[in-house]
Copies of this chain bind each other. A is one copy, B any other.
Amino acid sequence: MVFKNKPEIIGAFATVGPKEGEGPMAKWFDNILEDDQCGQESFELAESKMLKDTISGAIQGAGKTEGDLDVILTGDLLNQLMSSTFALKEFNVPFLGLYGACSTMTESLLVGSILVDGSYADLAACAASSHFSTAERQFRLPLEHGNQRPPTAQWTVTGCGSALVAKPTMPGTNTGIRVTHGTIGKVIDRGVKDVNMMGAAMAPAAVDTIHRHLTDIGRKPEEYDLIVTGDLGTMGKEIANDLMKKRGMDMSAVYDDCGAMMFSPEQDTHCGGSGCGCSASIFCGSLFKRLKSGEIKRMMLVSTGAMTSLTSSQQGQSIPSIAHAVTIESMA
């Protein structure tokens, strides 16, 4: 998809948990939680509050008010999008719930950009969240269990990002950060069944989407400053590089992965970060600011999702995966 009107990202806000705030990306985040329970009764309500506060932070940061928003698009990993629906109770704004597992940040930017580009909305808040303590106990084991994790495992990021996508003719738009192209992902499943091998499960979907995005636009990887996947982690990142080479494209010089960027090796997260909040907080925290400063001129954000559930994994099924892509350029 080509966005003829090139919707502008006029602001973004990123929140992360204490562990993420001790990692190499710490300096970029707008808010680092001291207490990842956010004073709430449950971790689920804590995630919901984090999402609500992050969307509010993006609105305030862009000098807008809730009343300026035409729509909020969010999703998370919890059953029936509990974080999103409970956060949205606090806003008097139309809501489209999205589910793309950890691909949600890009899905929301993609649908938000369509709404704005096509003049169905003037201002859309696009967001996604995840929380270590809600995801671990929902998808894997009770937190109290303190289970051992295999070397291929990733660490669900406690984090959230929200970006405001606006019609470029709207007053107050001046970042010059524009969404120019989008590609909707396909569900791809190569048979990986191990929920501690998410990177391997998702890499084929990421490569399919990146390859289609580049081919459709008629570009090569080197025409980008950065191509960044969501949460393939260190192992999935290697697989993605290899699979792209097999398709005759070498993206390794400009390629990185938010999961691989989030933690340092000393933080003992094995293959890195995962979760919707991983690419959401890194895009809204670091990459948005680096686009704003002009350090990044053109990037492709490719959040990646493993569409597994406790039901499907307990029934012995494999992990269907998906990745959506948007190209974002700094035109200031």
Which A residues fall within an 8 A CB radius of B? 1, 41-42, 44-45, 71, 75, 77-82, 85-86, 88-89, 91-101, 107, 111, 114-115, 117-120, 138, 183-189, 307-312, 315, 317, 320, 322
Closest B residue by C-beta to A44: B311
Residues of B within 8 Å of A138, CB to CB, are: 311
Q: Would A85 and B118 be within 8 Å (CB), given that A184-B71, A315-B41 are in contact?
A: no
CB-contact partner of A312 in B86, B115, B186, under 8 A: B86
Q: Chain B nearest CB: distance from A183 CB in Å? A: 8
* Contact of B44 with A312 in the complex, beta carbons under 8 Å: yes
* Contact of A95 with B186 in the complex, beta carbons under 8 Å: yes
Residues of B within 8 Å of A92, CB to CB, are: 186
* Contact of B107 with A308 in the complex, beta carbons under 8 Å: no
A92 CA to B120 CA, complexed, in Å: 28
A120 CA to B114 CA, complexed, in Å: 8
Q: Chain B nearest CB: distance from A128 CB in Å? A: 13
Residues of B within 8 Å of A75, CB to CB, are: 99
Closest B residue by C-beta to A119: B118
* Contact of A97 with B94 in the complex, beta carbons under 8 Å: no
Closest B residue by C-beta to A117: B118
12 A–B pairs (Cβ distance < 8 Å), ordered by A? A79-B309, A79-B311, A82-B307, A86-B312, A86-B317, A94-B183, A94-B184, A94-B185, A96-B98, A97-B98, A98-B98, A118-B120
Q: Chain B nearest CB: distance from A46 CB in Å? A: 12
* Contact of B1 with A120 in the complex, beta carbons under 8 Å: yes
Closest B residue by C-beta to A188: B89
* Contact of B78 with A96 in the complex, beta carbons under 8 Å: no
Residues of B within 8 Å of A45, CB to CB, are: 315, 317
Q: Chain B nearest CB: distance from A322 CB in Å? A: 7
CB-contact partner of A82 in B85, B189, B311, under 8 A: B311
Closest B residue by C-beta to A137: B311
* Contact of A95 with B184 in the complex, beta carbons under 8 Å: yes
Residues of B within 8 Å of A307, CB to CB, are: 80-82, 85, 97
Closest B residue by C-beta to A186: B94
Closest B residue by C-beta to A115: B114
CB-contact partner of A80 in B44, B79, B89, under 8 A: B79
* Contact of A80 with B99 in the complex, beta carbons under 8 Å: yes
Closest B residue by C-beta to A90: B187
* Contact of B310 with A79 in the complex, beta carbons under 8 Å: yes
A312 CA to B81 CA, complexed, in Å: 10
Q: Would A99 and B81 be within 8 Å (CB), given that A88-B187, A88-B320 are in contact?
A: yes
A188 CA to B91 CA, complexed, in Å: 9
Q: 10 nearest interchain CB pairs? A: A118-B118, A94-B184, A80-B309, A85-B307, A88-B187, A97-B99, A79-B79, A79-B309, A99-B99, A85-B320
